[in-house]
């Protein structure tokens, strides 16, 4: 019996999560913590939902590991498609464990390109209730969008600047949003620096910002914040 069949007759919850993970050299001390927490996502979210008397009918995770197009374009973005959990847990685990903290060049990284790819993901549109969550893990500011647009392998369709990206994220009554207003959430574990703290955390709706510092990793309470954010919003 599939999960969806198991919960037929009750509300069916579909959760899509995109994890944007800074994989540059400065993240080496913390990347193992991020990997470990990511691999626990499915079980921990199910446990919290069960305590609330709810069950997720469909959980999909997508990972975007990013570095810097200005340093090594060939390794600046590595990503999966959406993977169904628990069925594709092995594929998810293999990709996450294979992320290697390396490179990065200067201090800012290509985090906004990763965020743009996340926003434009093929989000689930079915089932009764949906939650579309983007989680950003980085210890660095980001290059302005388009800084390295001429680099080989730079993704097609990336917005030219942050204003265009904000239009894609959307807001109440927005006509240009590519995300479902009632479903979306953005959770930032990022420095208290531009563009994360301002303008994104200050101006984008449905966004939570937890200031991060290099070397401190993904703390347990932070993972709990992500889980609770998802569970409480369903």
Q: Is 165 exposed, middle or buried (0-12, 13-18, 19+ CB in 10 A)?
A: buried
Class (C level, CATH) for 13-232:
alpha beta
Q: Are 217 and 34 in contact (CB under 8 A)?
A: yes
Indicate if the pLDDT at residue 65 is higher than 90. Answer: yes
Tokens of 56: 């997720």
Q: What is the average pLDDT across 217-222?
A: 60
Whole-angstrom distance, CA of residue 56 vs CA of residue 72:
39
Count the Cβ atoms, other than its own, within 10 Å of residue 175. Answer: 6
Count the Cβ atoms, other than its own, within 10 Å of residue 58. Answer: 18
Q: What is the average pLDDT across 203-231?
A: 75
Query: pLDDT tens across 12-35, in order?
Result: 889 999 999 999 988 887 788 778
**Top-ranked range on mean pLDDT: pick from 2-6, 158-162, 225-229:** 158-162
Question: Is this model's pTM higher than 0.85 or not?
Answer: yes
Indicate if the pLDDT at residue 143 is higher than 90. Answer: yes
Closest CA to 155 of 70, 56, 69: 69
The pLDDT of residue 217 is 53
Residue ranges covered by each domain of the chain:
13-232
- Helices (H), ranges, the chain: 3-6, 28-39, 41-51, 89-97, 111-119, 162-169, 202-203, 220-232
Query: pLDDT tens across 67-124, in order?
Result: 999 988 999 999 999 999 989 989 998 998 899 888 766 779 999 999 999 999 999 9
Confidence band for 220, pLDDT divided at 50, 70 and 90:
low
The pLDDT of residue 2 is 47
């Amino acid at each position: 019996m599939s999960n969806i069949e198991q919960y037929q007759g009750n509300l069916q919850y579909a959760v899509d999560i995109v994890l944007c993970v800074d994989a540059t050299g400065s993240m080496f001390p913390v990347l193992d913590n991020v990997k470990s927490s990511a691999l626990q996502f499915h079980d921990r979210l199910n446990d919290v939902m069960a305590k609330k008397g709810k069950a997720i009918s469909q959980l999909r995770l997508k990972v975007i590991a990013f570095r810097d197009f200005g340093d090594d374009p060939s390794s600046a973005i590595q990503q999966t498609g959406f993977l169904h959990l628990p069925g594709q847990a092995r594929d998810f685990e293999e990709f996450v464990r294979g992320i290697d903290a390396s490179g990065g060049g200067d201090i800012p990284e290509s985090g906004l390109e990763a965020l743009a790819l996340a926003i434009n993901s093929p989000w689930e549109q079915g089932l009764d209730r949906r939650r579309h969550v983007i989680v950003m893990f980085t210890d660095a500011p980001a290059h302005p969008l388009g800084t390295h647009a001429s680099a080989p392998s730079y993704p097609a369709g990336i917005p030219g600047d942050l204003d265009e990206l904000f239009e894609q994220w959307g807001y109440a009554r927005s006509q240009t949003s590519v995300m479902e207003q009632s479903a979306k959430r953005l959770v930032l574990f990022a420095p208290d620096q531009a563009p994360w703290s301002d303008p994104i955390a200050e101006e984008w709706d449905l966004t939570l910002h937890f200031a991060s510092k290099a070397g401190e990793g993904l703390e347990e309470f932070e993972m709990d914040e992500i889980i609770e954010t998802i569970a409480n919003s369903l």
